[in-house]
Structure 1
Amino acid sequence: MRIALGQIRSTDDPRANLALVAAEVDAARAAGARLLVLPEATMCRFGVPLAPVAEPQDGPWARELERLADAAGLTVVAGAFTPGEGGRVRNTLLVRGAGVRASYDKVHLFDAFGFAESDTVQPGREPVVVDVDGVGVGLATCYDVRFPGLFTALAERGASVVLVPASWGDGPGKAEQWELLVRARALDSTCFVLACGQAAPPEGGGASGAPAGVGRSRAVDPLGAVLAELGPEPGRLVVDVDPAAVVRAREVLPVLANRRF
């Protein structure tokens, strides 16, 4: 399966961000990708009130995402915000196009490093694996990457590939943690892990206190080797993943079968 990652820099205008999505869809189609991964908060960057921009999963933003994906004949995964309860929203990955229609609500909320995502976001409850061209694709979002149990649960549910859209907050050592955690989760689950981050903001352009992104999208194989990666600026990756490599990795490194706890 050929997978494209679009490391964009979202704005606070959902309609303008659809233009960014359209450009990434066109590039992914031209590259022959079957799956396009975009960051967390593709719909609207963090650092602004989220409730006014949240839309239902069949709202105008999601419908346009699906139209773009279907027109290109590929599946797109993009971070959005959908209405929650009590004035909060859900941090939702929308999966649309080429016969696939699914979603994942972020389970682990970023209440860390002085930021409280749970103030405005309602957590999800369930791991999600979708079938894309016969390949099990697990879904995780940003802070989820710090929790190995989610990744092993996705592998148990049939994932060979795990996607991690993110808007990773910057700070001392944070970029290095991101790089390490993505590789570690590939080893924990013996899955391909493809992590797509928001590009870093322009110098001095980050929203105060909000996780604006560090870029550094990367694709890692089931034995932890980095296949491709980006720096902090907007960019694109295209990688080919072979589910047979997951089978081989689990034969030589059967950590899922050998677990006792």
Structure 2
Amino acid sequence: MRVALCQIVVGDDPKENLRTALEAISEASATPGGVDLAVFPEATVVRFGNDLADAAEPLDGPFVTALREAAREHGTAIIAGVFEPAPEGRVYNTVVGIDSTGTLAGSYRKIHLFDAFGDRESDDVAAGGEPVVLDLAGTRIGLITCYDVRFPELARALVDQGAEVLVVPAAWAQGVFKEEHWTTLVRARAIENTTWVVAVDKAPDRTRPPRGAPGGVGRSQLIDPMGTVVADLGPFPAVRVADLDPAVTSQVRTFLPALAHRRPDLF
């Protein structure tokens, strides 16, 4: 399975952000052999600090429709973060999964909202309430959005539901020790679940958003079930194609059967 980690710049103009995403899909698909899955950050449509309700669209709106057309054109599945309208003027922070035919395979609304480090995501965003595993790119993919990664019970619930790969789109807030938290947490989710993790953060902001602190630390990573970092994109915009071998998961679980050693009778 070939995965494209699309660590793009996300700015204040949804139309420009869509152009950036479509260019990244074209770049990844031009790699010899193409790609099976292109993964984008959380909030690909517009960066935090803008009027999210103004940028929100239903999942049959122009932004997701354009991604669906690109998936069909290039024959690659896509995972990306968008905003959907929600009650009371708020939005849902949603990740969509699109298959290689351009069909919307499903979506996940972020459960854990970033009311931490002085931010209050819940002022603008309504929480989702259901873990989601999608059949996409020939595998079972569990979706985790940004702050969700701090909650290991979500990752474990997704694995229990049959997820073979965990995908983590993010717009990780900048701040003291935040990059260390990001790289540690995404590796931890791979190690404790003996599973592949595809973690894609947006490229760091070089300017301040209209309100709030800059976001994105970069460091998008592909991590194998032993916690080995197969790819690390560093701090700059990049599109990196890497191979994800599902057979590694069963190999690791043969000699490290931690999931089989769980004690559900006690916990």
Distance 1:145 1:247 in 2: 23
Describe the SS at the equivalent of 1:25: helix
Partner of 1:189: 193
**8 Å CA contact 1:151, 1:188 repeated in 2:** no
Partner of 1:214: 217
Q: Secondary structure at the match of 1:111?
A: coil
Show structure 1 runs of 4+ deviating over 6 A: none
Find the residue that maps to 1:170 and give its secondary structure. Answer: coil
SS in 2 for 1:86: helix
> Which residue of structure 2 aligns with residue 175 of structure 1?
179
| Unpaired runs of at least 5, structure 2 | none
List per-residue Cα deviations over 1:76-106 (Å, max 9, x = no partner).
Answer: 1111000111111000011123145211111
Indicate the larger mover: 247-256 or 59-68: 247-256
TM-score when normalising by structure 2:
0.94
Superposed CA deviations along residues 147-174 of structure 1, whole A, max 9, x for unmatched, are: 1111111111111111101000111111
RMSD: 1.2
Structure 1 runs not aligned, ≥5 long: none
Residue 106 of structure 1 is matched in structure 2 by: 110
Q: Shift of the alpha carbon at 1:224?
A: 0.6
TM-score, reference length from structure 1? 0.96
For the pair 1:245 / 2:248, whether they are aligned, the reply is yes
Tell me by how many angstroms 1:211 deviates.
5.2
Distance 1:116 1:142 in 2: 14
Partner deviation per Cα, 1:10-50 (whole Å, 9 max, x = no partner): 11111111101111110121121110000011001111110
Structure 2 counterpart of 1:147, from 147, 151, 170: 151
* C-alpha distance after superposition, 1:218-248 (max 9, x if no partner): 1110111111101111012211111111112
Name the SS for the 1:112 alignment partner.
coil
Q: How high is the sequence identity, in percent, across the aligned residues?
A: 49
Check the 8 A contact 1:135/1:160 in 2, yes or no.
yes
Contact 2:205/2:214, CA 8 A, preserved across alignment: no
Match 1:68 to one of 63, 67, 70: 70
Q: How many residues align?
A: 259
Out of 52, 55, 62, the position equivalent to 1:53 is: 55
Query: Does the aligned pair in 2 maintain the 1:201–1:213 contact within 8 Å?
Result: yes
User: Paired residue for 2:15?
Assistant: 15
